[in-house]
Chains A and B, each alone.
Chain A
Amino acid sequence: MTPRARSALLGFAVLAAACRTPEPDATYRPTESALEVLAMLRLHIDDDTYRFPAARDFTGKNIYYGSLVRLERLEEIYAEKYKSGYLLAPIVFGKALALERIGEYGLAARHYQRVSELDGELREVARRNRSICERLSGALALVPAPQARAETAESVFNDRNRLLEQLGTEVEGTHQRYLVLEELERADRERAEYFAGRAALEPEFEVAALQQYQRLVQSHPESKLRNRHLLELGDQYATLARRYVARFPPTTLRFDPAAFDEYSFGATRLYETVSQQDGAIEKVEASRKLEAFLAFTLQVQDEKLPR
């Protein structure tokens, strides 16, 4: 059917809806509510949640989480009506989609599994989605062991990226491509956090941690979390500046203003960049961090007088 024909049918449906009398029959409320939730879910399922924040429902909650909760509520309220199973496949499939979109891949796979065991048009797509969710869940499980050496950890993170990149090519053109991008970003972030964590105890990892955060910023320039990444990179520079001052107090002869400036310059610029992002919630955090860090640098400079 051509889109024009579909539009004509849609117009017919709209007209029919507009011509009816008020006060709809409450008997149909369970079906109507389910259709409403599924419509919202379907509308937003293709949203690019890698670049833009997820839409929100009337309660201000993430639309996917809100849809999941509403479907669960409807199952509770209309348990008697739904008992016959006429809406079982769409509701379970809808819940699976919502779970998948909030990153609960294991649970989503189980819901898809349930749908794939039922007869109907959703069986095949549920099988395919289950497989993707299981692979995503498997990739997420790849984390370095607590005692792992740095090289081993690096290799684990590389394996995770490789798996996700391979999956990314397979899901090209589907809504799952955004999930894969989000997971790649999460993997990069966890890698950076891992090295930053090690750097807190082993100073030789400081440069590696900084590089990982720089890589995170450079690899995901379009991400909705870009401001967050910039803030975290700024935090890294600020931490290094503070550590430098702790190691070489400004009043000592070993303090090198140029070395300190290298770190403080990075932190100041990054905080400043985010503090200028109108409408971003990170703006407030960055403004306050910038203020606090400037106070710290002024104190350091004052202690190091004269220039």
Chain B
Amino acid sequence: MRSCRASSAVALLLICAGCGGAHGPTPELLAHARPRAAPLPGPLELEAARLATLVLAEWPDDAAESAARIATLEAETEPGAAPPGLADNAAELLAALDGYEAYLEFARQVLERGSDDPRLERRLQRHLDAEPLVRAEVHNAAHRRGEVAAVFNRLSAPLSRAALGGVMLPIEAGRAALSALLITHDLPEISTRERQELRAYEEFLARHPDAPESAEIAERVAAYRERLALSEHDEALEVGERALAAGAPRLAMLHVERAERLAGPDERSEALRIRSDEMLAERDRLLRASEQAEDARRNPNELAAEGQLARALLRDPPLDAAQRAEQLPVPLSQEDERAFVAALGLRARGDEDGFADALGIIAAPSPDRTGMSRHARWLLANPNDNPYGAFRKALGVERSATQRWLWLGRYAHGRTRRDLPRPVEWLLDVPGFAISLITIPQRMLQFSSARGRFGQPVILAGERYVARRPGGTHSEEVHAALETRYARQEHWSGALRHYEAREQPDPEQLLEYRSQVAERALAFAGQQTRIDVRMSIYASVARDYPDTPQAAEAQSLLRDLVERATPQEIRVSRGFLQEHPALWQPDALGLRPELFDGDGDELSEEGITLLGQTAISIALEDREPELRRVPLENFARFVALLEEISYERLVSDTRERPQPDPQRDLFFERARFGLLEQPDMRPSAGSHAVFLSSREKYGLVRRGNPLPVEFVIQGGLSDLGLAAFPRVRPPAATPDAFLYR
């Protein structure tokens, strides 16, 4: 971080020195001047200022008269002359004084009659669109359209395939029929759009409790609330049932309680509660049983032997305890205890396999076995106590998953869960299942690239083994397996780590892995916007992988970054500057007009870049960029214009969306106040905002399909399908939809 700051400071100093700030701008690129004097305000403007004063002072009657005078003055404009355009602003200001309802009425009037000022229309329309009831209507319409789209689209694809005929005709016809039957089942209890509609209604009631339509809206809200509570109740119970199926009765109980709080207890919640309670009770019973002392009456010799065995185990190191256990005359009923102590001795000696084998014998089911067999079974099953066993098991899981995928494709885990009776679910999957069998050769071709995805259980178990048994009996085998799995996933640092841990790594392969790691790090650095992060990655590649070809590249990139780093990198394209000439007039940026005339030195498409303080980089065609400094007053004006133009574009262009960028805003604010003496060198303070012209941003042709229906041609190797069908475009989710799920 510190090196980055220092380098950026050096870069900016170089820029400023290069600009020769004290000597003024270089004549061939920049020519600055003070803003031209503006004419004194005329009677209309003075009246407008008076209206603003009266409105802010809350003098409504005088304000109304003033607005009328403005309208009269404006009406007196000579025919053919450009109108002042202040009358509608005056009317808007007056409407704002009379309150929100009056303003909305004014907006409706203007939009109904039409205005010559599209900006005003857009602003007024926005106010009307923001009204809670309007929003509720929009959400309701979107919900209905979404339902129609869901039904239509579900049917159109299989029907189209059925109509096209072929060998799959009966299957596709069946699928279409079943889909039609299941549509209502699959639709959610209450959609996101309906929840948004409900929220809008609630906002209306909160804002306008005394409105005439409030009673009707309140009824709608109550109905929606009831549906929402039922939906959430069902959802909580479903999660609870999944938790119980996964052996987590306490979690299931938490969800039962939540469901009951939402919509009260019912049969389903009661049943789940009982099942959870039973599972908990059974677990507690087993636990208590394991903690109970045996009630068997033994003779004094047996008790003495048992005591000796226990003392040896607690007092002596495991190896000694094991030896002592061998010598003790324990009764047959304590044989398992003795074998267990002996097994602990094997583990202390580092004999992993011997320990596992011994436990296997104790754990073998037999009516004569004591409680020790359960302990042995637990140790064998616990991956932390038996990591190699868990690793072997994971290899089996991987093998089985691979085989299932090869044979069954996406049905490797059985039928698709649809919350339906199992036979119906299987029936629905029959066509897909048939296709999966046909496409086995295709999956065989994909096998080498796809097998990496099945290695995760082996990776988890293998990592556990090497962490718990460093240098263990099976280390070489496990490291080899891990290296292979990581390499298949192109996780090069993992592969390298385990290859290095192997007994005799091949230097060439080692270098290959190191190069891959360094290459990946360089690619990652290239994606970073923060300069300090990039610098740190380049430095680490150069430092930690000096033997790879990427080290030299990292050094070069680092040097380049140090030389060129600037506190800001806000770009304004040539197209944007041409679209808004006020930005580069002599009283602002002061670019010479010759840079835009297509002759001689010409500004390139990249335009100019703000580098921090008042320094700018001017990109020229067929030449290196030129660095210049703009006088502070001109820079402040340029920034104010840039911000105002961006605001105007948001108002007038429906395609524009706000681009939040606090770093850009803060830099602009400081520029407007002339507070740029000290550059802000923190990497987090830099902005990479880009200002593009409308054409650069959206192109000449309007993108997107304005129709609600589209035609889809669909085909895929996985299902050997080819179909062409119409599809109703579902309404797009609103940006805040995630707050309603």
Contacts and interface: CB of A to CB of B under 8 A. Distances in A.
Interface of A: 1, 3, 5-6, 9-28, 30-32, 34-36, 38-40, 42-43, 46, 51-52, 58-60, 69-70, 72-74, 76-81, 83-84, 86-87, 89-90, 93-94, 97, 120-122, 125, 272, 276, 278-281, 283-284, 294, 298, 301-302, 305-307
Contact of B90 (A13, A15, A306): A13
Given A14-B91, A34-B52, A278 B250 contact: no
B623 to A, nearest CB: 32
Given A1-B61, A13-B67, A121-B53, A35 B90 contact: yes
18 contacts: A6-B61, A10-B95, A16-B72, A17-B116, A18-B110, A20-B74, A22-B116, A24-B82, A28-B86, A35-B52, A35-B89, A35-B92, A77-B637, A80-B37, A272-B261, A278-B195, A279-B196, A284-B739
A18 B115 contact: yes
Contacts of B417: none
A86 B49 CA distance: 6
Contacts of B651: 58
Contacts of B640: 72-73, 76-77
A52 B207 contact: yes
B87 A306 contact: no
B113 A18 contact: yes
A9 B672 CA distance: 40
B103 interface: yes
Interface size class of B (residues with CB under 8 A): 35 or more
Contacts of B106: 10, 14
Contact of B64 (A10, A26, A294): A10
Contacts of B51: 35
Interface string B642-659: 011011001100000010
Contact of B644 (A46, A73, A305): A73
Contacts of B115: 17-18
Contacts of B258: 272
B739 A279 contact: yes
Nearest to A91: B52
B647 A284 contact: no
A15 B115 CA distance: 9
B740 interface: yes
B56 interface: yes
A27 B637 contact: no
Contact of B91 (A17, A31, A302): A17
Nearest to A33: B644
A33 B493 CA distance: 59
A31 B86 contact: yes
Contact of A76 (B49, B59, B250, B636): B636
B88 interface: yes
A93 to B, nearest CB: 5
A231 to B, nearest CB: 15
Given A13-B90, A24-B83, A80 B56 contact: no
B60 interface: yes
Given A23-B82, A121-B53, A86 B45 contact: yes
A38 B93 contact: yes
Contacts of A18: 110, 113-116
A87 B44 CA distance: 13
Nearest to A24: B85
A302 B280 CA distance: 11
A31 B45 CA distance: 6
B10 to A, nearest CB: 32
Nearest to B656: A58
B92 A59 contact: no
A73 to B, nearest CB: 4
A21 B85 CA distance: 9
Contacts of A25: 81-85
Contacts of A23: 82-83
A185 to B, nearest CB: 17
Given A42-B55, A306-B288, A283 B739 contact: yes
Interface string B198-210: 1100000011000
Nearest to B66: A9
Interface string B283-301: 1100110000000000000
**B contact face: mostly helix, strand, loop, or mixed:** helix
Contacts of A298: 248, 250-251, 254
A6 to B, nearest CB: 4
B70 A13 contact: yes
A77 B46 CA distance: 19
Contacts of A36: 89, 92, 123
B246 interface: no
B660 interface: yes
B111 to A, nearest CB: 11
Contact of A86 (B46, B250, B658): B46
Contact of B647 (A26, A27, A58, A306): A58
Q: Which 6 A-B pairs have the closest CB atoms?
A: A24-B85, A17-B88, A1-B61, A90-B52, A13-B91, A76-B640
Contact of A121 (B46, B59, B75, B92): B59
Contacts of A93: 53, 56
Interface in B549-595: none
B109 interface: yes
Given A5-B64, A35-B48, A35-B92, A76 B97 contact: no
A14 B109 contact: yes
A306 B287 contact: yes
A276 B74 contact: no
Contacts of A12: 68, 71
B39 A1 contact: no
Given A14-B88, A17-B88, 13 more contacts: A10-B64, A10-B67, A10-B106, A16-B74, A20-B116, A22-B116, A24-B82, A79-B35, A80-B37, A86-B49, A87-B49, A298-B250, A301-B250
Contacts of B41: 31, 81, 84, 86
B284 A305 contact: yes
Contacts of B46: 86
A39 B82 contact: no
Contact of B85 (A3, A28, A94): A28
B22 interface: no
A89 B736 CA distance: 40
A263 to B, nearest CB: 16
Contacts of A306: 283-284, 287-288
B644 to A, nearest CB: 5
A120 B37 contact: no
Interface in B606-652: 636-637, 640-641, 643-644, 646-647, 650-651
Contacts of A80: 35-38
A9 B67 contact: yes
A75 to B, nearest CB: 8
A97 B54 CA distance: 15
Contacts of A35: 48, 51-52, 86, 89-90, 92-93
Contacts of B647: 58-59, 70
A38 B643 contact: no
B716 interface: no
B11 to A, nearest CB: 28
Contacts of B44: 28
A294 B250 CA distance: 10
A231 B292 CA distance: 45
B598 interface: no
A90 B89 contact: no
A13 B90 CA distance: 8
B76 to A, nearest CB: 10
Interface in B250-292: 250-251, 254, 258, 261, 280, 283-284, 287-288
B94 interface: yes
B93 A42 contact: yes
A21 B83 contact: yes
A28 B70 CA distance: 13
A122 B669 CA distance: 28
B198 A278 contact: yes
A25 B126 CA distance: 25
A15 B250 CA distance: 70
